[in-house]
Chains A and B, each alone.
Chain A
């Protein structure tokens, strides 16, 4: 399996098998590959863009556009496994223009929880981590916010949050411990929430 570091900065190239290409965020690679393998979805191939675009949403739309242009002749269909992800509707506009579909929802926290349920919950003071983000907490949270050098900034970033919610895709006691540690470092209460793959599974199942 490709390392988290590679998924963060380089992404993942497609194998070249299957009729439908999924172009996804690198933060979803392990989960999508697990679903493909577990369900025998041999018609699906996966390409991932660098997961670090999570922190730079303005990079997502041009990268998706470029990937679709490069791969469109190699597959029957392309499906985008990015939610809006901070693009402010721009990714949806581009997908409409390119004639490709994308997964519904504002972000992965929502579709893992289930978009309808997430919207109903209306949590505004929760900070979310997924399996990938727990493993990559330093690369995606601690370092980019400068907290290793300037720990005094922590409460300026997180002072309005109340709890860290770890949305687990798989059961893994080690990750639970690490997520608790992340909550401690951020000065937040901790909540463990097993979501599984939520709407991601249902969406891919329909392709």
Chain B
């Protein structure tokens, strides 16, 4: 960003310009500026959920699109995510206190043998930003960890992530186990990770393959809505 923008006083901007500036700051990974912007909007009486969705998730969605289109690369996305995390840490306690809408609950983790959690962390953060409750199991999860957490957390969605072609087949082990236990249809199963594709997602019996974090959020929202609708119809 240009030197001119170094002189911008965030608190002097009107709401619309401030949100636009926060989109730029998120894009540039400027954590302190994002934290300042969040505090300003809260002080102006914005509801925490509105700050989250309109300023942070809105900005991060642009980052996601530009990553998908090859304009941004992993380092820039990580910096943006780090900035968003700064804003989220301010909003999280406020969201709990103000009773923001709950979209559903997700259990997420990287599969057994895989310790690469950058994508998983992005999805978890974006899902939280979209109003989902997230139980993050971390890395290197065996099937028992997923199954136990789904039951214990009374979750709606299972998210599995893998970066390695050697570990991604384990997702099928998890889904097959869920089928054996008669619990597969109780959950929405989303899978993601660099070497996966839609064909793989279908082949292993997932509900959807999600190319990136923004797609994961949109897919989760759509499938949750469909689940609720089908529940209402029966």
Residues of A bordering B, CB below 8 Å: 57, 84, 86-89, 106, 122, 124-125, 145-147, 149-150, 152-153, 156-157, 160-161
Contacts and interface: CB of A to CB of B under 8 A. Distances in A.
B75 A149 contact: yes
Interface in B118-170: 118, 139-140, 164-166, 168
Contacts, number: 50
Contacts of B196: 88
Chain A interface secondary structure, helix, strand, loop or mixed?
loop
B165 A87 contact: yes
Contact of B140 (A89, A124, A153): A124
Nearest to A105: B166
Contact of B75 (A86, A150, A160): A150
Nearest to A160: B115
Given A156-B118, A160-B139, A84 B165 contact: yes
Contacts of B194: 86
Interface in B63-111: 73-76, 78-79, 82
B76 to A, nearest CB: 7
A88 B200 contact: yes
A88 B113 contact: no
Contact of A146 (B76, B166, B168, B200): B76
B34 to A, nearest CB: 15
A25 to B, nearest CB: 16
A84 B73 CA distance: 24
Nearest to B166: A106
B114 interface: yes
Contacts of A88: 165, 168, 195-197, 200
Given A124-B115, A146-B75, A153-B75, 8 more contacts: A86-B194, A88-B165, A88-B197, A122-B113, A145-B75, A146-B73, A152-B82, A153-B79
Contacts of B75: 145-147, 149-150, 153
Contacts of B74: 145-146
Interface string B188-208: 000000111100100000000
A202 to B, nearest CB: 21
A89 B165 contact: yes
Given A88-B165, A88-B200, A160-B116, A57 B78 contact: no
B176 interface: no
A64 to B, nearest CB: 16
Contacts of A161: 115
Contacts of B200: 88
Nearest to A148: B75
Contacts of B195: 57, 86-88
A146 B200 CA distance: 30
The 6 closest A-B pairs by CB, nearest first: A146-B75, A160-B115, A88-B165, A88-B195, A106-B166, A124-B113
B28 to A, nearest CB: 12
A161 B114 CA distance: 11
Given A88-B165, A88-B200, A160 B117 contact: yes
A150 B79 contact: yes
A168 to B, nearest CB: 23
Contacts of A152: 82
B197 to A, nearest CB: 8
Give the one of B114, B116, B166, B200 with max A CB within 10 A. Answer: B166
Contacts of B197: 88
Give the one of A122, A125, A160 with max B CB within 10 A. Answer: A160
A57 B194 CA distance: 10
25 contacts: A84-B165, A84-B166, A86-B165, A86-B194, A86-B195, A87-B165, A87-B195, A88-B195, A88-B196, A88-B197, A88-B200, A106-B164, A106-B166, A122-B113, A145-B74, A146-B73, A146-B74, A146-B78, A147-B75, A149-B75, A150-B75, A152-B82, A153-B79, A156-B78, A160-B116
